[in-house]
Amino acid sequence: MGQDEFPLCGNGQAGMPILLKAWIPAFAGTTSIRQTGPEIQIEGFLPEQTDIKFMRRALELALQGRGSVSPNPRVGAVIVSPDGKVLGEGYHHKYGESHAEVEAIKACGGADTNGATIYVTLEPCCHRGKTPPCSQAVIKAGIKRIVIASDDPNPKVNGCGISDVRSAGLEVVSGVLEKEARYMNRGYFTLREKNRAWCSAKIALSIDGKMANLDGESKWITGPEARKYAHTLRADHDAIMVGGSTVWNDNPELTVRSVEGPDPVRLVLAPHRGIPVDSKIGTSLNDVPTVLFTSDDATPEGLDLPGLKVHRFQMDKNGRIDPVDILKTLPQYGILSVMIEGGSYVLSSFMDAGVIDELAIGTAPSVVGTGVSPFDKFDPVTWEKRPRFREGIVRKSGTDFITTYLREDSSFSLD
Ligand SMILES: NC(=O)c1ccc[n+]([C@@H]2O[C@H](COP(=O)([O-])OP(=O)(O)OC[C@H]3O[C@@H](n4cnc5c(N)ncnc54)[C@H](OP(=O)(O)O)[C@@H]3O)[C@@H](O)[C@H]2O)c1
């Protein structure tokens, strides 16, 4: 099945105005202990400051495509006249529909775009795909300057959008707010860099590092503010994944509730146990796309539930589904980013496979004692080879702390 035919992400909730700072951890709204976002003065007349101001707006616009553009990137564009007036703004709304540059040109509504500057968060495309090439639309509009946040790693573009506009005589400035633009499209870049989806994990822990007690009770370790932030993170991923025991013990809904945002696709990794038919997930399959991951020949509970998609994998020699296989499969479903929400079996197997790109750890001021640790089924080969992470952004959220880490060798940055 090709990705063109089967994008599961796209429940039509794009278009909600959400501020960039509401979700990019580096700009998050909760009290920051360490100031990590670049402080940018947007007043003043230096061209770089003007470029940053309009690029920031283009990023805000791009964000509105979340939940409906994957496997395409989120892209926003702003067109500004030579005397600094915004003539038009646009973003890529939905997979298969017109691109941000074309939307922005349309939004100019016939205003004179000759000599204007266009701010665009990703290099314009130069190939005819589902829509005509944006580089040509920009040239045809008489635009004279193009400011780009990041290059497009798609082999069909990869520099040709920039060379098209440069050959037509446009001034090109690139790399403005590049880190933010790359992070916003981390799934899109990870697909090109690693041929798999981006993988985050969100874990709520007690002071002593436990995610549940030995009876499996874990509900709401952290407080309402941290849980709200977790919903913001959910809305920023194409999919959420949990292990079977979490579904059977906790009966989660895995939807976005306390913030505005699209529901991600739900992925349940439960080859043998499956999904209880009367669970919250089992009874809402028509509302939220859900995929059960199982093995070649298993017949787990819920297999025939109407609306449930089932993907079968071959088990590896340890009787597990290889996490790398899962992440390489997800783009077929239009999923470029997934957040794991437990439990420890699934977290440990993904840590074992070395594919957790980002960790968001919520720590609550309580002690569980003997209980379940998030990675207690993980067994590093040697001390030296233990997985390492970097760039801990710490923020206070109600009574809890949330720390976000990237893999030590990540090509992305939060600072
Ligand atoms: N504090 C938190 O943030 C948090 C979040 C979520 C969960 N929890 C708690 O964590 C506990 C559950 O953790 P857990 O470790 O027992 O279970 P789990 O990871 O939720 O689920 C384990 C099951 O998932 C399937 N599975 C996971 N990885 C697999 C792989 N690579 N290949 C094949 N199957 C795989 C297996 O299903 P089959 O049995 O079908 O083979 C396995 O038995 C619960 O008590 C829950 O309340 C806490």
What confidence tens digit (pLDDT) does each residue in 138-150 have? 999 999 999 999 9
CA distance 126 to 137: 10
pLDDT (0 to 100) of residue 46? 56
Pocket test for ligand 1, best of 324, 346, 370 (most atoms within 8 A of CB): 346
pLDDT of residue 217 exceeding 80, the answer is no
Check residue 119 and report its DSSP letter.
E
pLDDT (0 to 100) of residue 177? 95
pLDDT of residue 198 exceeding 50, the answer is yes
> How many Å separate Cα 282 from the centre of its chain?
25
Task: Please state which of the ranges 17-26, 126-135, 198-207, 398-407 shows the lowest mean pLDDT.
Answer: 17-26
**Mean pLDDT, all residues of the chain:** 87
pLDDT of residue 33 exceeding 60, the answer is no
Active site residues: 101
- The pTM is what? 0.87
Whether 243 is in the pocket of ligand 1, judged by its Cβ within 6 Å, is yes
Whether 320 is in the pocket of ligand 1, judged by its Cβ within 6 Å, is yes
Distance of CA 14 from the midpoint of ligand 1 (Å): 31
CA distance 203 to 227: 11
Whether 342 is in the pocket of ligand 1, judged by its Cβ within 6 Å, is yes
When pLDDT is cut at 50, 70 and 90, the band that residue 127 belongs to is confident
Distance of CA 113 from the midpoint of ligand 1 (Å): 55
Distance of CA 244 from the midpoint of ligand 1 (Å): 5
Secondary structure percentages of the chain, helix, strand, coil, to 5? 25, 20, 55
Across the range 215-221, mean pLDDT stands at: 81
pLDDT (0 to 100) of residue 3? 31
Whether 204 is in the pocket of ligand 1, judged by its Cβ within 6 Å, is yes
Question: Atom 12 in ligand 1: which residue has the minimum CA distance?
Answer: 343
Helix (H, G, I), strand (E, B) or coil at 34: coil
Task: Please state which of the ranges 25-29, 53-57, 224-228, 380-384 shows the lowest mean pLDDT.
Answer: 25-29
pLDDT (0 to 100) of residue 17? 30
